[in-house]
Chains A and B, each alone.
Chain A
Amino acid sequence: MKRIRIGQLSRQWLATTPARSPTTTTATTTASRVSILLLLSRPAPAPTALHAQIRCQSTTTAITPEAIFDEPESKESKEPPEESASSHQANSPLPSPHPDKALRSAKLASLHARLSLSSKIPLPTLARALVDPSADAHPYFNNANLAYVGASRLQYHTSEWLVTRYPRLPMDIIFAAMKSFAGEPALHRVARSWGVEAAGAPGEEVDPGYLQFAKDKPSVMMHKWGYARAEAKELVKYKWRRGMSSRVVFDDPFGNTIPPKKTNEVEVSDARNTKELLMEDAEKNAHANFVRAVIGAIYLHCGSDTTKTFVKSHILSRQLDLSNLFEFDLPERELTRLCDRENFDPPVARLLSETGRLSRTPVYVVGIYSGRDKLSEAAGANLLVAKRAAAINALKAWYLYSPGHVGLPSDTFAEDAAPWKPAYVDIGEIIS
């Protein structure tokens, strides 16, 4: 049997800076082997109570988290610390249920069926997706790595959909929309809608179909794409301003700064699980990480096309009214700047209809015209309010332009895909 260094591949997923890139053949063969390796990653237990000896408390060991799935042969050959450590922890309970229990859990099987997951995704993987790092700090048995893969796929598909579907959205609206589709609160809602329940407390005896996390224990922060800014401390302390362009470069996909790193260790290692990483909302974080981990598992077992379909049907199908995200400062001036920039005639507010001018509750309907073209209209209780509302509507109509159902860049990943037709790219938001 040919050995494949999966460690290389998984390390590339984990590292901030890409490691040596593996060949594509390695990637494809691993995807097919992943299901077997997942089952093998925890050594098969002896039939009786012996299996408790094989696991150990992860805090006592120092395992390098270089691989999501390590080969069992290599583990045995290098005398893993689990075996040596297990001798003095013979009867300590496991922090999370044994993977073998996953095959006998009705709850887990029904969750698998409810999500219409492919049979390529084994139940132990789904069980692993339900274990938060706060419940089981061991990187082989919690969902931190799966969630990391899943988060990157999820954010990629969400952002490409937003940018091609609404090419004129300002950057801060894109950040807000990203958060409402792929952010923690939204993913928490998604997990709740999937019917995932949290266990009262994590432990060996818990049914693997429950989401397991502990509120009082540190979890692993989801590693985010981006850079810790040099001025990160001053941003918090003196409330320095940070521009929108620098957010694109430095910050995470939701436009939030990345906290400066204390150490240079890898995110998912046990050493990172310190007190400071206590989540302020452990429940939301655990639910969100479960959804990300499921997406990661789908990507690893079924490939990128299935992942895309899953993200589209579970995340992007959710309703979000983008027009509610806008807040303007000087809408009339911004509209004038827009008309100047695009060589339109200057906007003129015209009175379309009115009622009750001398009454207590008048209503004016004001339309904004550029030349002979009507841009928008709005009703208001006085002329200036109606004009301002109409200007806001015109700006929203500009920003929310959509070319319709155009292809996504990821469509071209398919084997027999049509050549990519460039999407419409806008020149940028209005500066007033």
Chain B
Amino acid sequence: METRQVLRPLGSLKHTTPSSAVTPVFRSVASRRHQSTTSRTKKALKLPPHPDFLTPQSGQNHVIFNPPAAAPSVYHTPFKFLPKSDPRRQANLSQLLRSSSDLHTSSRSTELPPPMSKLEMRERKYNVTKEQVEEMRQLRAADPATWSVLKLAEKFNCRPYFVMICCKASPEHKEMENKRLEDIKSRWGTIRTKAREERQKRKELLLRGAL
């Protein structure tokens, strides 16, 4: 310990003096050992194992299952999709009981994650009557430019998809709309055209499950 104390000033002196002037004896004393030796590194990295990996006090063997986060496999059929005859349905009694009490507790969804958007939680409405459908068709046939799908959906308080189920635009109107769309597309520059094409490709990849 004392020698190190003594040698330390000499070691700092080494950096200031040119290396040619250093005598061999002096150099050997000055070469300080750092952490970067094998044994010291090993000793420094020697950590005790996580308590999970130690044998518990009871002495019983146990299995550690701690998989990394990954997308669930589609080959794991969710409990709800198992057919009635499947033995796994009977084996998983806790799920079975939970599903049976599902009916009573489905109204409160406090434990469930929040819905993706407000639209997800809307109820299905069957509010449009037969007469209203007739009226919708007449309006659409009479003046498709004024009574667009969105306008009709707003008027009859239903979804645009429902309007499109009910009404069919005339071929002239369709042609006009297509022409308008082509005009808009012709004004696009290269960047936007390419971006739209790539968006279309991404959509196809997604539907194929390749994205």
Report A's interface with B, CB cutoff 8 A: 323-324, 326-329, 331, 344-346, 348-352, 366-367, 369-379, 383, 385, 387-389, 392-394, 396-398, 400-403, 424, 426
Question: Are B77 and A401 in contact, CB atoms less than 8 angstroms apart?
Answer: yes
Chain A residues near B99: list those with CB within 8 A: 373
A387 touches B76 (CB 8 A): no
Which partner residue on chain A sits nearest B204 by CB separation? A327
- Check if B207 sits within 8 Å of A328, measured CB to CB: yes
Q: How many residues of B contact A (CB 8 A)?
A: 35
Neighbouring B residues of A378 by C-beta, 8 Å: 71
Which residue of chain A has the shortest Cβ distance to B95 in the bound complex? A373
A204 to chain B, nearest CB (A): 51
Contact B113–A388 (Cβ < 8 Å): no
Residues from 30 to 67 in B contacting A, C-beta threshold 8 Å: none
- Given A327-B208, A389-B206, A396-B209, check contact A424 B77 (CB 8 Å): no
Identify the interface centre among B71, B85, B113, B121: most chain A CB within 10 Å of its CB.
Answer: B113
Contact B78 A345 (CB under 8 A): no
Interface string of B81-97 (1 = CB under 8 A from A): 11101100000000000
Minimum CB distance partner of B109 in chain A: A372
Could you tell me the distance between the alpha carbons of A379 and B206 in the complex, rounded to whole angstroms? 12
Which has the most chain A C-beta neighbours within 10 Å: B75, B81, B102, B105? B81
Return B161 CB to nearest CB of chain A, in Å: 9
Q: Which residue of B lies closest to A392 (CB)?
A: B209
Contact, CB under 8 Å: B75 / A385? no
Q: Is A398 a contact of B117 with CB atoms below 8 Å?
A: no
- Interface residue? B6 (CB, 8 A): no
Closest Cβ of chain B to A298, distance in Å, is 32
Q: Are A372 and B81 in contact (CB under 8 A)?
A: no
Q: What B residues does A348 contact at CB under 8 A?
A: 115, 120-121
- B112 in the interface, Cβ–Cβ < 8 Å? yes
Choice from A387, A388, A397, A424 contacting B81 with Cβ under 8 Å:
A397
**Would A344 and B117 count as touching, CB distance under 8 A?**
no
Task: List the B side residues contacting A387 at CB < 8 Å.
Answer: 116
Partner of B211, one of A328, A389, A394, A400: A389
Q: Does B98 interact with chain A (Cβ within 8 Å)?
A: yes
- Known A-B contacts A349-B120, A371-B106, A392-B207; A376 and B78 likewise in contact (beta carbons under 8 Å): yes
Given A348-B120, A349-B120, A392-B207, CB of A367 within 8 Å of CB of B113 = yes
